[in-house]
Amino acid sequence: MNKVLKGTAVLAATVCTLTATAQNTETEKVSKLTKALSRLSLGGYGEVALSRNFYSDNSKRYVNADEHKNDPSHGRFDIPHVVINIGYDFGKGWTMGSEIEFEHGGTGTAYELEYDEFGEWEQETEKGGEVEIEQFWIQKSFAPFANLRVGHIVVPVGLNNAHHEPLNFFTVYRPEGENNILPSTWHQTGISFWGRAGQWRYEAQLLGGLNADQFTNVGWIHKGAASPLEYEIANKFGTAVRVDNFSVPGLRLGLSAYYGHSIGNSAPREASGITATNKGAVFIGSFDFTYNDHNWIVRGQADYGHLGDAEQLNSMYNRINKQSPYHHSTRIVSSKAYAIGIEAGYDVFSQIHKTRNSKQKLYVFGRYEQYNPYAEKVLNASYDYTDVKRMAVGLNYYPLPQVCVKAEYSQRFLKSKYNNEPSVNIGVAYAGWFL
C-alpha cells in the first residue's frame, strides 16, 4: 500500500512539474511574441477618387481647340494609391522601414494614351508603375541628431514629396503643380544622413542621377526617377538636401534642393556622342510651409527647376528609338519649369460645441496654383497649353482623425486660344498606424 501511495505521489509531482514547465514555456512564448510585436510597426494610407471632367479628353484638344469645345464630359473612378508600411526595431539603434505601394488598383503593365505624341497608344512598362517598393531602408541611429539610412528612400524635395500622405493636402488628388513637374512620390535608392536638433530638422542624400531619356515637354522631369530595368542606373549621381524649422508654434518652414546630371544616365552607356559629352545638369530649388493652428491649416510651396543641355535631348538615341524601353518622344523638353501653390482651410466644426467635443472636423478650403513644365522655349518650339493656372474650392470632412471625405470643384485656366477645364472630384482617404 505504501508503495502505491509513493508511486501516486511521484506521479502527481511529475504531472505538476510538467504542467509548470508547460505554463512557463507558454508564458515565455507569449512574452517573446509581445516583445516582438512591440518592435513591429504596421500602417499605411489609401485613397479612392471619383471624378467628372467637363472638358474633352480627345488627344487633339490642344491642337484643334475649337473643334473640341463642345465635346462631352468624361468620368473616372480611380484608386490613386494604396500603401502598406511595415517597420521593425531590431534594437541597438538598428531599424528597418518599408513601404509597398499599389497605384491605380493594378499590377504589371498598362496602356497609356500619350497626349504629347499625337494620341499614340503606348504600353508602359515602368518600375515606378503600378506596384512598387516606395521605401525599403536599413537605418542606424547614433543619436536624435545623427541617423544614417541606406536603401530605397523618399527624396524630400518640395512639399508634396516630403508630405505626400493624402491627409496632408485638401484636394482629392495630389497638388497638381508639383505632381506635374517633379517625380511624385519621388523615391530612389541611395544614402541619407538626417537628424533633428532643437527646432531644426535636416537631411542630405546621395542618389543615382535622373534619366534624361524619360523627360517630357508636359511633365519636365516627372518620369526621370523611373527605371524600366531591373535596377536603377547610376552612371551619374545626384544630391538632395532639406532643412525644416519649427521655431514658431504651429508653423513649419522648409527649404529643399536637388542637383545632379541626367544625360548619359541610361543603358547602354555610350563612349562617345551626345550622351557622353553633355551633362544635362538638373537643379531644383523649393520653399514650402505648413501652418496648423487656431483652427486654420495653410500650406504653400514654390518650386523652380533648370535643366542644362535641354536642346540636346531631342537627338538622343533612346528617346527616338521605338525599340528602346524608355519614354519615346519627339517633343522638346524645356530648360526651365516652375510650380507655385497655396491652399487654406478653416475648421467650421470648431465653432460647434457638439462636433468640437466629438473631435470631428470640417474644413472649408480654397486652393490656387500656377505651373508650367515648359516655362522657356527651346529650339523655338512652343507648347502654350502647358501654362496652367488652377483653382479649387471644396470641403474636407473628418469623422475620425485618420479618415477624411473630400469634395471639390476645380478648374484649369489655360491661355485664351484653349478651352478651360472644369471638374468635380469626390474622394475618401485614410492614413495612420494600426500597430
Cα–Cα distances in Å, from 380 out to 44, 220, 334? 46, 17, 10
Q: Which domains does the chain have, with CATH numbers?
A: 2-433 (2.40.160.10)
Pick the range with the lowest mean pLDDT from 33-42, 79-88, 278-287, 408-417.
33-42
Beta strand 110-114 pairing with 94-103: unpaired
Confidence of residue 26 (pLDDT cuts 50, 70, 90): confident
Average pLDDT for 276-283: 92
305-340 tens-digit pLDDT: 999 999 988 877 677 777 677 776 778 999 999 999
What is the pLDDT confidence band of residue 12, given thresholds at 50, 70 and 90? Answer: low
| pLDDT reading at 127 higher than 50 | no
| pLDDT score, position 128 | 41
Residue spans of beta strands (DSSP E) within 214-354: 237-245, 251-261, 281-293, 296-307, 336-347
For residue range 65-89, list pLDDT tens digits in order.
Answer: 999 999 999 999 999 999 999 999 9
Mean pLDDT value across residues 219-236: 89
Give CA torsion, residues 268, 271, 272, 277, to 10 deg: 90
